[in-house]
């Protein structure tokens, strides 16, 4: 099992130092909050304007005279002098003197500056004090007039201001484990500041993942998960348009689907059960049931103890299975067209998201060809040999060899996306069909992005006797897969398919260094929360 260390994105700051730094910052922030509130001490006199601020009614009370809400993104010059209501997080709060408070309100990607100035009939000194006493990341409702400032506003996406009339707190945040700005900083910025003698906070990966609800608020993360959503959407759209149907196969199964690798086991009403390591057997059974082409997007479970940058114990499988007419190249045709469609569509429709990710985690756009390159395993092995590497001609490529081959392919063919097919049979799962001309090879393939494997696929063995023999040779108890073998025995046409991991596709397309960055709530051998 591969055991390269988990890539931590804070190599230059130790965990302990980071925690100390964080504690210090939290204390400072709490003190600043208290001081701001004290300095604005006002008489306890009755505030005639008290209705203009305070706690927001939470419980779906129909609120009289509440205006329609405007999205922060929609706040443009065209709304000058209009009264608007917005809602968002208090991104920053700054008090100037005793009569004025600035609040930058953030709603998803967008930010706008709101100014509360003491004025008769609208804003009281008590209200400014109330604003000053709010904590960052609290959710607030702001009503006010849109104005256009004479100078550019730095640090907000919207170039209008809101002159606050009313302000209500929907949800009060405590001082958080880290600030969004700190979490949103690129390594380059931190290094640059360090060279200029300034020490910026770096939020390390475990802190981020322990507080994923905060971490997700950065623009890079908003971008990553919009792209993840879009990959699923393009994947399905393409396959539906090709006549495939979406299926949902059970995750609770009798036996392990792949054999070998560790599985999670549990008790199912007194019967031993496993969590499916892939929808392999059931998607094939759907083909036995005359579903001519099927796909599934769903969780797959791997009990392996792999603490690497690219393994998870639970990830989102992108699975496809289809009838083959004559040759397994038909499956590779689908793979090639599908992924070229995914890459092309993302580059076209996710510009904003790609830029947001790139600002924090710079990457080069993926190089790929309109016609996907296909090499045989033998050709790939030869390329490595020619470059002076030792390769077992009947073994698998290890991670290092895969990366090296990716480099050689890029140099020779100018692509970071290619298919390697006709793998040695010995290194493939039991349900793989051997080649017609040499049973030591198989009708199988892997697909690579930036030198890392993202897809495995093959034509399936559907001669029941051979299937049983191969399963046994792989150490699989036949009785745990008897319903699968029976389905194959009941008559099935030539078929094949492939599986990919959604998180890995997104990670490699974006050139990210760790799969935990593309899993919403990652699960690895050490992490079961949040």
Q: Which residues are catalytic?
A: 302, 304, 310-311, 453, 456, 504
Query: For residues 17-46, which are near a copy of itself according to CB under 8 A?
Result: none
How far apart are alpha carbons 472 and 476 in whole angstroms? 5
Q: Which is nearer to a copy of itself, 161 or 353 (CB)?
A: 353
Q: How far is the CB of 526 from a copy of itself (least distance, A)?
A: 7
| Strand 245-246 to 293-301 pairing | parallel
- Does 65 engage in binding with a copy of itself (CB under 8 A)? no
Query: For residues 443-482, which are near a copy of itself according to CB under 8 A?
Result: 443, 459, 462-463
Residue 305 to residues 4, 201, 262, 264, Cα–Cα distance (Å): 12, 32, 8, 12
How far apart are alpha carbons 431 and 466 in whole angstroms? 9
* Among the residue ranges 42-50, 323-331, 358-366, 449-457, the one whose residues contact a copy of itself (CB under 8 A): 323-331
Q: Which is nearer to a copy of itself, 168 or 368 (CB)?
A: 168
- Does 526 engage in binding with a copy of itself (CB under 8 A)? yes
Take residue 329 and report the two structure tokens written for it. Answer: 């190249």
Q: How far is the CB of 255 from a copy of itself (least distance, A)?
A: 9
**Site mask for a copy of itself (CB under 8 A), range 289-308, x = bound:** xxxx----xxx-x---x---
**Site mask for a copy of itself (CB under 8 A), range 401-430, x = bound:** ------------------------------
Q: What is the dihedral angle through the alpha carbons of 124, 125, 129, 132, rounded to the nearest 10 degrees?
A: 80
Q: How far is the CB of 125 from a copy of itself (least distance, A)?
A: 26
Please calculate the CA angle 146-147-150 and round it to the nearest 5 degrees: 155
Alpha-carbon torsion (523, 524, 528, 530), positive or negative: negative
> For residue 452, with 0-12 CB atoms within 10 Å meaning exposed, 13-18 middle and 19 or more buried, which class applies?
middle
Take residue 48 and report the two structure tokens written for it. Answer: 């005639």
* Among the residue ranges 37-45, 143-151, 259-267, 397-405, the one whose residues contact a copy of itself (CB under 8 A): 259-267
**Rounded (to 5) percent helix, strand, coil in the chain:** 35, 25, 40
**Site mask for a copy of itself (CB under 8 A), range 200-219, x = bound:** ----------xxxxxxxx--
Query: For residues 74-93, which are near a copy of itself according to CB under 8 A?
Result: 87, 89
Backbone dihedral angles phi then psi of residue 121, each to the nearest 5 degrees: 75, -20
**Among 63, 194, 200, 473, which residue interacts with a copy of itself (rule: CB under 8 A)?**
63
Residue 97: other Cβ atoms inside 10 A? 11
**Among 181, 246, 392, 465, which residue interacts with a copy of itself (rule: CB under 8 A)?**
246
- Does 334 engage in binding with a copy of itself (CB under 8 A)? no
Write the secondary structure of 412-430 as one string of H (helix), E (strand) and C (coil): HHCCCEEEEECCEHHHCCC
Q: Which is nearer to a copy of itself, 220 or 401 (CB)?
A: 220
Q: Which residue has the tokens 């049931």?
A: 289
Query: For residues 260-289, which are near a copy of itself according to CB under 8 A?
Result: 264-269, 271, 273, 275, 282, 285-286, 288-289
Q: Could you tell me how many helices (H) and strands (E) the chain has, helices first?
A: 15, 17
Q: Which is nearer to a copy of itself, 124 or 284 (CB)?
A: 284
- Does 62 engage in binding with a copy of itself (CB under 8 A)? yes
- Does 54 engage in binding with a copy of itself (CB under 8 A)? no
């Amino acid at each position: 099992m591969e055991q390269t260390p988990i890539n931590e994105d804070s190599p230059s700051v130790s965990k302990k130092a980071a925690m100390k730094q964080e504690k210090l910052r939290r204390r400072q922030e709490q003190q600043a909050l208290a001081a701001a509130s004290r300095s604005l001490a006002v008489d306890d006199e009755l505030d005639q304007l008290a209705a203009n601020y305070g706690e927001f009614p939470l419980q779906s009370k129909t609120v009289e005279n509440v205006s329609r809400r405007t999205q922060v993104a929609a706040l443009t010059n065209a709304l000058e002098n209009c009264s608007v209501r917005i809602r968002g997080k208090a991104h920053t709060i700054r008090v100037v003197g005793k009569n004025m408070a600035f609040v930058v309100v953030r709603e998803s990607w967008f930010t706008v500056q709101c100014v509360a100035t003491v004025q008769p009939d609208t804003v009281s000194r008590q209200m400014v004090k109330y604003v000053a006493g709010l904590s960052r990341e609290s959710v607030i409702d702001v009503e006010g007039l849109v104005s256009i400032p004479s100078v550019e506003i730095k640090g907000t996406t919207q170039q209008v201001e809101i002159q606050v009339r009313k302000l209500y707190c929907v949800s009060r945040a405590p001082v958080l484990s880290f600030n969004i700005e700190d979490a949103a900083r690129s390594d380059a910025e931190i290094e640059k500041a360090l060279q200029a003698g300034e020490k910026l906070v770096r939020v390390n990966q475990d802190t981020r993942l322990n507080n994923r609800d905060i971490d997700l608020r950065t623009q890079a993360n908003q971008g990553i998960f919009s792209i993840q959503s879009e990959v699923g959407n393009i994947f399905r759209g393409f396959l539906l348009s090709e006549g495939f149907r979406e299926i949902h196969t059970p995750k609770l199964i009798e036996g392990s689907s792949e054999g070998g690798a560790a599985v999670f086991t549990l008790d199912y009403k007194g019967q031993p059960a496993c969590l499916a390591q892939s929808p392999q057997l059931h998607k094939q059974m759907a083909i036995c049931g005359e579903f001519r082409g099927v796909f599934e997007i769903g969780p797959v479970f791997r009990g392996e103890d792999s603490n690497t940058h690219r393994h998870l114990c639970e990830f989102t499988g992108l699975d496809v299975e289809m009838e083959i007419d004559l040759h397994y190249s038909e499956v590779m045709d689908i793979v090639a067209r599908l992924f070229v469609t995914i890459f092309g569509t993302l580059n076209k429709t996710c510009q904003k998201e790609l830029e947001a990710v790139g600002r924090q985690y710079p990457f080069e756009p993926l190089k790929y060809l309109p016609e996907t390159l296909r090499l045989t395993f033998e050709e790939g092995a030869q390329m490595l040999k020619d470059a002076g590497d030792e390769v077992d001609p009947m073994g698998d490529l290890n991670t290092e060899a895969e990366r090296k081959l990716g480099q050689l392919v890029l140099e020779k063919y100018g692509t970071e996306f290619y298919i390697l097919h006709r793998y040695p049979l010995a290194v493939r799962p039991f349900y793989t069909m051997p080649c017609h001309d040499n049973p030591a090879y198989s009708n199988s393939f892997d697909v690579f992005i930036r030198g890392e494997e993202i897809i495995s696929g093959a034509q399936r063995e559907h001669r029941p006797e051979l299937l049983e023999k191969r399963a046994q040779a792989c150490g699989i108890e036949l009785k745990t897969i008897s319903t699968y073998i029976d389905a194959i025995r009941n008559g099935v046409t030539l078929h094949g398919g492939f599986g990919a991991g959604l998180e890995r596709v997104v990670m490699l397309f974006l050139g990210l260094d760790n799969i935990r960055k593309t899993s919403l709530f990652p699960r690895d051998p050490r992490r079961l929360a949040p």
